[in-house]
Structure 1
Amino acid sequence: MALDKILSIGGKPGLFKLLTQTRSGFVGESLLDGKRITVGMRSNVSVLSEIAIYTLEEEVPLREVFQKIKEKENGNKTGISHKAEKIELEEYFFEILPNYDEDRVYASDIKKIVQWYNILVDNKITDFAEADNDKAVVETSEEE
């Protein structure tokens, strides 16, 4: 399952898999406990494939950060808990993304990233490759 089907919902713990869209929102299934919830359009929802992390030069897509964590951890869960001290989280993240913008990426952001990565690994969602490859092929063939 690609990251474009995984959601973070404001006020709800963990991550959710997008099951279906409705007229007034969508139905999601928790990756933590499997419970289904209906979410309205007014809820604060983020699709993981649309999230990027600030670095000193550019914004790095979250999937690339997950891929770097996966490489560091050999596909296993992180060696650090999302509940670790702020300094430990920052040191860990510095190993993953040495040029991240420390002024714009907070410890709370790093906690979420570590927690989300571990949830994804628990649910065997570890393919962080870019989902836009198909679009790129279509766009280049149309230009010819």
Structure 2
Amino acid sequence: MNLEKILAISGKPGLYVLRVQTRTGFVAESLLDGKKITVNLKSNVSLLSEISIYTYEGEKPLAEIMQKIADKENKGPAISHKEDNATLTAYFKEVLPDYDEERVYPSDIKKVLNWYNMLQAKGLVTDEAPATEEVAAVIEETPAAEVKAPAKKAKAKKE
């Protein structure tokens, strides 16, 4: 599951997709209603690809947890985030048995399930690899001669 350009913006409901970076921030599109908003650099923004959940062994990336939910639900919707706390913690225990119950609160579980259901409703729950691996593969395949050629042409035009 690719969460590279999916954002959670503090104070704004739902999730957003990063569209364009500007001098003073960026433009994001809401997954809920498709409206575009501008976000300045002072806003508290979290990339979903950077979020982890505490376990007793360390931290698990959110993408792995969402993939486990997708596998459990056969890529269908998960239970509602509006269920009672006991139901949510029991469900999350099935998905991630070793999560740290003292450091992961019911509100965190609600967020994860709400985000998963939003992504699933938009068809973004897939088995694709993260974009960083694809970018690394493209960089490795590009010969060094191809990268240097444009720089030489630029010098020739200046003279």
Same fold (TM over 0.5): yes
Q: Secondary structure at the match of 1:60?
A: strand
Q: Secondary structure at the match of 1:114?
A: helix
C-alpha contact 2:65 2:95 (8 A) present in aligned 1: yes
Q: Secondary structure at the match of 1:71?
A: helix
Residue of structure 1 equivalent to 2:108: 109
Going from structure 1 to structure 2, the CA distance change for 1:96 and 1:137 (only over 3 Å counts) comes to farther
Instruction: Kindly name which structure, 1 or 2, has the bigger radius of gyration based on alpha carbons.
Output: 2
Residue of structure 2 equivalent to 1:59: 59
Q: CA deviation at 1:138?
A: 6.2
Q: Sequence identity of aligned pairs in percent?
A: 58
C-alpha contact 1:51 1:61 (8 A) present in aligned 2: yes
Residue of structure 2 equivalent to 1:99: 98
Alignment of 1:1-144 (within 5 A): 2-78=2-78, 80-127=79-126, 129-134=129-134, 135=136
Going from structure 1 to structure 2, the CA distance change for 1:25 and 1:124 (only over 3 Å counts) comes to same
Q: Secondary structure at the match of 2:4?
A: helix
Paired amino acid for 2:106: A
Going from structure 1 to structure 2, the CA distance change for 1:101 and 1:136 (only over 3 Å counts) comes to farther
Distance of 2:80 and 2:60 partners within structure 1: 23
- Runs of 5+ consecutive residues of structure 1 not aligned to the other structure: 140-144
Q: TM-score normalised to the size of structure 2?
A: 0.81
Deviations 1:7-58, CA, capped at 9 Å, x for gaps: 0000111100111011111110100011111111111100011111110001
Q: Point out 4+ residue stretches in structure 1 off by more than 6 angstroms.
A: 136-139
Distance of 2:99 and 2:131 partners within structure 1: 24
Paired amino acid for 2:97: P
Deviations 1:49-71, CA, capped at 9 Å, x for gaps: 11111100011000000000000
Provide the aligned C-alpha RMSD in A. Answer: 1.7
Deviates more, 1:122-131 or 1:34-43: 122-131
Distance of 1:137 and 1:18 partners within structure 2: 22
Distance of 1:130 and 1:102 partners within structure 2: 28
Deviations 1:52-99, CA, capped at 9 Å, x for gaps: 111000110000000000000000001x21011111110010000000
Q: Secondary structure at the match of 1:3?
A: coil
Q: How many residues in Structure 1 have an aligned counterpart in Structure 2?
A: 138
- Runs of 5+ consecutive residues of structure 2 not aligned to the other structure: 141-159
C-alpha contact 2:2 2:63 (8 A) present in aligned 1: no
C-alpha contact 1:6 1:48 (8 A) present in aligned 2: yes
